[in-house]
Amino acid sequence: MTEDLNYPILIVDRIDTFYGQSHVLQEVSLSINGGEVVCLLGRNGVGKTTTLRSIMGLTPPQSGQIFFKGVPVVRKPAFQIARMGIGYMPDDRRIFPDLTLFENLEIARRLSSKEKVQWTFEKVYDLFPAFVDMKTRKGTQLSGGEQKMLAIGRALMKNPDLLLLDEPSEGLAPLIVQNLVEVIGRIRNEGVTILLADQNLKFCRKTSDRGYILEKGMVQHQGMMEEIWQNEEIVKKYLVL
Ligand SMILES: Nc1ncnc2c1ncn2[C@@H]1O[C@H](COP(=O)(O)OP(=O)(O)OP(=O)(O)O)[C@@H](O)[C@H]1O
Ligand SMILES: [Mg+2]
């Protein structure tokens, strides 16, 4: 996977996405190189989730193009886009409540269409050591934070090249957020490119190389995370600290 470094693995080119009559994304463009961690920032309702859903084919854009590893994906069904190598953790996690932690991971493993298995159970347990003692726990018996980690683990079991994470830090205690920063660093070191949507600027600064700031469904600013962090005007105008 290292050969993908510095080559755009994902290009979103001026997409417009609607919910019914409501025009949500307006000419959103972004580009992510292999190996990068990039974040989508912005307040409530600016279009972060819709951008991720557009990429996954869950809310396909009406116009514009999206290329994953050079292949156009707009109008492909979501399952096919996932099989091409995009993993997705939705903001509501969607863990199967009646299945155990192990079974939730096992289903994802079976859905992996990759010939080369990068993420084994062992590797996922290594990333989340607490899982080892929770294998038989049902989804309903997991805390919100644990479900979030399981949702990440489940996405990894499908061996994605690009991982989309929607609000990974939301609702987590500060210690767990710090843990998640390390987890994201380790996933990236395995060669997985990451696009995350999160409102937490500090979390994005710790995890991401670059950021795109959305407001009213449009990209208002983009830059290196350090530049965004120090840009008081931008932070005040578009973000929450
Ligand atoms: N299913 C839907 N039907 C109609 N409008 C929607 C739907 N989902 C989102 N919207 C609207 O689209 C806009 C963008 O929403 P989106 O969920 O993408 O924002 P977000 O940046 O992810 O916000 P949040 O921080 O709350 O997660 C908002 O105005 C929202 O009300
Ligand atoms: Mg959202």
Q: Whose CA is nearest to atom 31 of ligand 1?
A: 45
Closest residue to atom 6 of ligand 1, CA basis:
19
**Residue 136 to residues 12, 23, 102: CA-CA distances in angstroms?**
40, 44, 6
28 lines ligand 1 (CB under 6 A): no
What residues form DSSP beta bridges with 223?
A: 211
For the chain, percent of residues with pLDDT exceeding 70: 97
Q: Which of 15, 46, 201 to mutate to test the pocket of ligand 1 (most atoms within 8 A of CB)?
A: 46
pLDDT tens digits along 125-144: 999 999 999 999 999 999 99
The larger pLDDT score, comparing residue 94 to residue 226, is at 226
Q: pLDDT tens across 43-65, in order? A: 999 999 999 999 999 999 999 99
Residue-wise pLDDT tens digits, 70-88: 999 999 999 999 999 999 9
**Mean per-residue pLDDT, 95-105:** 95
**Distance from residue 124's CA to the centre of ligand 2 (Å):** 26
Domains and CATH numbers, the chain: 2-238 (3.40.50.300)
8 A C-beta contact, residue 15 and residue 65: yes
Judged against a pLDDT cut of 70, whether residue 241 lies above it is answered with no
Say whether pLDDT at 217 is over 80: yes
CA distances in angstroms from 178 to 131, 172, 175, 234, listed in the order given: 18, 10, 5, 25
Tokens (6 digits) for 176: 């767990």
